[in-house]
Structure 1
Amino acid sequence: MFKRNIRTRAVVAAVTASALHLAAASSAVAETPCGGDFRAFLDGVALEARSQGRAEAAISATLAAARIDRKVLSRDRAQGVFKQTFLTFSKRSVSGYRLKQGAANLRKYAATFQKAERDYGVPGPVIAAFWGLETDYGAVQGDFNTVSALATLAHDCRRPHLFRPQLLAAIEMVEHGDLDPQRTTGAWAGEIGQVQMLPEDIIRFGVDGDADNHVDLKNSAPDAILTAARFINHLGWRPGEPWLQEVSLPSNLPWEKSGLNFDMTVGDWSKLGVKARSGGLPSASLPAALLLPQGKDGPAFLAYPNFRVYLEWNQSFIYTTSAAYFATRLAGAPRYTAGNPGDGLSDAAMKDLQARLRNKGYDVGKIDGILGAGTRAAVRSEQLRLGLPADGWPTQALLNRL
């Protein structure tokens, strides 16, 4: 991993490079941004790396290890986990084992977690929840060759703008002796280590937690904990504030006010009859959004500004809500009340719903069967129009009405 202290990334041109060489490099890079012959693509990456001042040995070693990995492409196109309901995903992910191991690790690395909160304002349970969800506290870090995974996704024309910079950052890590292009493995999307971070973020936010002059997110828990804390802090964490809290709701709540809108305060929700299920609500002036992952009859949470950090970490509503809930459990909150939300739509029915909503002019994104933010907002609007409780949870009854 990235060694010594935090290094500021800079685009450095070699002093001896001629203007003609740089122009040729820029031209070649522009001609092979993605797709086409893989070797030609890698040649373009090499030229761009040289224009950034990377060492020739690191460029050659990194790109010599790059292969197209079809399994990576298959994983990228089949992220079925996002089609699970909150109750299904959270029950599987926030398991008894993870809660027990999380508590044990919070005790084992108490001094490191204390330093993380002191230096970056991020509570231990928040970091431990990400650590547990991403890799089961380092036990399952992925077996995809990191260089090949990044090269595959950078070459693929679906999201090259995201992954080409990560491939270039991997070259920088190789140059510094922090990544072995042949042996370093991780997740299918190129994330490395116990908290699954991409090369650019490791370079920018890496912290040497065990004072060995390296930031080794694969093998060092203190490095992983402090690096995650610094990254979360960068995403906008507000020290001393909550992130998620389970609440109970009155039956006559104006359900259309639910959703990821932070235009109401804790005081506003309290006046509508929203109460904490355990403990008390925080400051009345704190912005809060009401989350109903499975509608008015399922679990209910008030999300606070720190919840936005979870959405920066991962844009899946189900993952982020589960991660935030996991952190509350590690911090001592009781298990949520599941309620009785009823069955959701099948994959085919969800796609049918999305298609009908799109035909009505709503922006639901791709017709993929995933209940994302756009689909939830559209569902809420149609429920309100039809005189149904506008809680954003799609049902067969709603689909029939459409």
Structure 2
Amino acid sequence: MAERERVSETHKAQRGSALEVLRVAVRLGLTSFGGPIAHLGYYREEYVIRRQWLDEKAYADLVALCQMLPGPASSQVGIAVGLIRAGLPGALAFWTGFTLPSALALMAFAYVLQGSQIKETEWIHGLLVVAVAVVAQAVWGMARTLAPDRPRATIAVLSAIVAVIWHSTLSQVLIIVSAGLIGWRFLPRDSDRGAAPLRIPVSRKAAWISWALFFGLLLLFPVLRQIASSRWMAILDSFYRTGSLVFGGGHVVLPLLEAEVVSPGWMTPDQFLAGYGAAQAVPGPLFTFASYLGTLISGWPGALLATAAIFFPSFLLIIGALPFWEWIRQRPGFQRALDGINAAVVGILLAALYDPLWTEAIRNPSDFGLALFGFAMLGIWKVPTWAVVLLCAAGGALLSLNG
């Protein structure tokens, strides 16, 4: 009976509307500065701590899954949360709300600031500093839940060391797989417990169709590009392929996009780099850099096509993976492996807290003080994340007056 009540309460907690998902996603899309790793911290604060749509372990499971998939991991986590909360409309609502603010901003940059060099200002630097505070709080909270004992803390620390030393597009995937094997082999058997079930509103039939579409379009678009000799088909192929094949997300996508849009002569290297600078100054996913590039190539229709094409693989991958992932995470024997994977996720976030966030944001004692103040506002005084973002941005500007 207790188990049935637990499942019922879990399902009840997961129900919601697409409008609710959209409202939260818009707020995140306007305030989530700092890149993909920082986004995971913002999500945790909003979805796990504040709204309790997911528990800590379910959220870490989603992060682990998306780290193993190609594409923008932080956006995929949000799409998965929206899908679980309100079905496919919820997934679309999250993507729209989280993506639209930065996409519109970068389209405006393309129209107004073509060829300009976007220089960092102190308030933008303050946004990087608050990202340090957000991720630090996420690492601290997740470590207490997901690495509470010596074996899992050891996995987390070793994963962090490897992630800091070894930078490659596949390193995170290999770290997660290795941690899963270590957890399965060495963690105690009291980890063999069923995870609290998630309501996945997608059938396995729909999942198989999504996988077929993902690989089918990946093979079909290059053929159609050669046959049609159309710029629109070329945009669709280039951005869909980039969104399908990049591991690591975030900054990893930049050299791939440069090869796709600069080499054909669609824009100059200076225009490309100007857009990259603009992408650092806006919240939300870095993949909306595609909105800037699409605008330069073919105006606002090009922006719509490029943005949709680079994110569409993420929808197919999440819809295709979640039903099978949920089945796997319910297998008692898999729980030890998943505990190892979740500990590795903590380590990967810890490594990212150091590099690139700390190394880029904390330049002097004043930056450290501002980050510590942001951490205290989040963790001790429970100030809303959006308010912390605004205060730290203002703090960065004020500190520059004393510099």
Same fold (TM over 0.5): no
Structure 1 or 2, whichever has the larger Rg, is 1
Task: State the structure with bigger RCO (CA 8 A, min sep 6), 1 or 2.
Answer: 2
How high is the TM-score relative to the length of structure 2? 0.27
How high is the TM-score relative to the length of structure 1? 0.27
